[in-house]
Amino acid sequence: MSQKFTRREFSKLVIAGAAGSTLGVFGGVRPAFANQKHVVVIGGGFGGASAAKYIRKLDSSISVTLVEPATTFYTCPFSNWVMGGLKEMKDIAQTYDVLKSAYGIEVVHDEAVEIDAANHSVKLKGGGELKYDRLVVSPGIDFNYDAVEGYSEELANTVMPHAYKAGPQTELLTKQIQEMKDGDNVIICPPGNPFRCPPGPYERTSLIAHYLKENKPNSKVIVLDSKEKFSKQGLFTKGWGRLYGDVIDWRAASKGGKVLSVDAETMTVNTSAGPVKGGVINVIPPQRAGKIAFAAGLTNETGWCPVNPITFESTIHPGIHVIGDACIAGAMPKSGFAASSQGKVTAASIVRLLQGKVPAPPSLVNTCYSLVGPGYGISVAAVYKLTSDGIVKIKDSGGLTPMDADDDQLSEEATYARGWYNNIAQDIWG
């Protein structure tokens, strides 16, 4: 019998021998086991939780601390389904229990407020400090409220929710729609590119229209868009015509959609073509990388973070990997699926780097399902690779649900959308 261990077996032995002590953060600073490599991950969403889990899965000798303020994470994917009355908040709630118990990840419910790139340390709002060998930053987005005159963070929390980070604002917007008078209109104002989840505002439009059709037949959804075109436009437009008739009124930027300002007192959106009144107004402001990315100087003039596309390591601060919506990832959209894909590639790269090996070239994927109606699903997919032009979509890969898809296919896609949620949630938090 061979005396040699496989990497996996050896890792198990290391963990068993260390009996938990290596997983704690000794004195709030460093793992007790001096030789053990330590990775800190900031952000427990699609990107960060994927990176944390997969680092531990690929090499359990590396200790991982995940910093995330929330004990329950509400996913943006499927939050539109809550607004449409198809799901409840509990259905989009994810926790960190399995990452802690099955993967031995130290989860710190605190907020990272400062990164000292030179000294490899992260300062927490609660006063703690974490040292790292490598850091993963997956902070998602922050909102540029000032870009919309009359709008503010306070208004978003009280009167005109953006509901573009799932949580209390998802509930607020859902409640406002439910309590709205029949005959009043819901106004949705999507931002210009780039922004999180390109098909998101249009799935939202669809499912709110579904709710109104069933419950408030005299109301409409008016979309005042800052763009001339949008993701999966042909498929959405066809579906809207088939399912909702004239319930949805989408206006391109040049056709009166451009938002100039909002007025909460009179519940009015002022556009280039004049004022539009709404019973409910959902303003989705322009976005930039999450706060900590700015605080740590990881962003460039675009407001997003440039990275090495092989490892997602920041090209500004070595040793810090930026993933998800916050990073500039070539042709990849800012989606939960893309963030998770980047999280896994980064996990594999970090494991190789900490083992003193060269990372494998990246292979990345995105699949975004949108629901046009409860039994009417559409999707866009792509496989990405690294070329001399950065991360590009592989020719012939991916694409959209065919425009001539029959009802059976559209129904299957709706079913697969539900299956997608179950599996990606399990793959990240389960």
Partner 1 sequence: MVKQITSWLSVGLISAAALTACDTQTSEQQQASETEEINPRGEILALSCASCHGTDGKSVGIMPGFYGKSASYLKSALMEFKNDERYSTVMGRHAKGYTDEEIELIAEYFGGLSQQNSK
Residues 386-405 within binding reach of partner 1 (CB under 8 A): 386-390, 394, 396-399, 401
Nearest to 366, CA basis, from 200, 163, 201, 197: 197
Binding part of the chain for partner 1, among 141-149, 181-189, 237-245, 353-361 by CB under 8 A, reads 353-361
415 binding partner 1? (CB under 8 A): yes
Beta bridge pairs of residue 387:
390
For the four alpha carbons of 5, 9, 14 and 18, in that order, the dihedral sign comes to negative
Residue with tokens 């059709």: 213
Q: Which of 221, 179, 226, 227 is nearest to 204 (CA)?
A: 221
Nearest to 194 by CA among 227, 147, 162: 227
Helix count (H) and strand count (E) of the chain?
A: 11, 25
Indicate whether 119 belongs to the interface with partner 1 (CB under 8 A): no
Tell me how crowded residue 9 is: count the other CB atoms within 10 A of its CB: 10
State which residue, 57 or 213, has the beta carbon closest to partner 1.
Answer: 57
CB nearer partner 1, residue 296 or residue 382: 382
Binding residue for partner 1, selected from 221, 364, 371, 372, defined by CB under 8 A = 364
Query: Residues 25, 58, 105, 173: which binds partner 1 (CB under 8 A)?
Result: 58
Please say whether the beta carbons of 180 and 279 come within 8 A: yes
- Residue 66 or 155: the one with the smaller Cβ distance to partner 1 is 66
Q: Which stretch binds partner 1 (CB under 8 A): 143-151, 187-195, 285-293, 360-368?
A: 360-368
How far apart (Å, rounded) are the C-alpha atoms in residues 114 and 44? Answer: 17
Q: Which is nearer to partner 1, 54 or 376 (CB)?
A: 54
181 CB neighbour count, 10 Å cutoff? 9
DSSP readout, 103-158? T--EEE-S-EEEEETTTTEEEETTS-EEE-SEEEE---EEE-GGGSBT--HHHHHH
Among 1, 16, 19, 35, binds partner 1 (CB under 8 A): 35
> Closer to partner 1 at the Cβ: 5 or 26?
5
Which residue's CB is nearer to partner 1, number 79 or number 367?
367
For the bound state, the minimum distance from the C-beta of residue 360 to partner 1, rounded and expressed in Å, comes to 4
How many residues at the interface with partner 1, by CB under 8 A? Answer: 71
422 binds partner 1 (CB under 8 A): yes
Q: How many CB atoms within 10 Å of residue 93? A: 16
Least distance CB 186 / partner 1 (angstroms): 30
- Which CB, 121 or 409, lies closer to partner 1? 409
Q: Does 365 bind partner 1 (CB under 8 A)?
A: yes
What phi, psi does 25 have (nearest 5°)? Answer: -100, 100
Among 171, 225, 313, 325, binds partner 1 (CB under 8 A): 313
**Distance in Å, CB of 26 to partner 1, minimum:** 17
- Which residue of 154, 241, 357, 407 would you call a contact of partner 1, by CB under 8 A? 357
Nearer to partner 1, 176 or 311 (CB): 311
22 binds partner 1 (CB under 8 A): no
> Can you tell me the distance from the alpha carbon of 362 to that of 364, in angstroms, rounded to the nearest whole number?
6
What is the Cα 92 distance to its own chain's centre? 13
User: Stretches 175-183, 208-216, 295-303, 310-318: which one binds partner 1 (CB under 8 A)?
Assistant: 310-318
H/E run at residue 386: strand 376-387
Nearer to partner 1, 119 or 388 (CB): 388
Check residue 426 for interaction with partner 1 (CB under 8 A): yes
Q: Does residue 407 touch partner 1 according to CB under 8 A?
A: no
Rounded least distance, CB 319 to partner 1, Å: 8
**What is the distance between the alpha carbons of residues 38 and 63, in angstroms, rounded to a whole number?**
5
| 196 near partner 1 (CB under 8 A) | no
On whether the CB atoms of residues 132 and 121 are closer than 8 A, the answer is yes
Q: Considering only residues 245-304, where is the footprint of partner 1 by CB under 8 A?
A: none
Q: Should residue 429 be labelled a site residue for partner 1 when binding is judged by CB under 8 A?
A: no
Amino acid at 261: S
Read off the tokens for 238. 């066809």
Q: Tell me how crowded residue 108 is: count the other CB atoms within 10 A of its CB.
A: 22
CB of 33 to partner 1, least distance (A): 11
Give the single-character DSSP code of 309. T
DSSP 3-state of 47:
helix
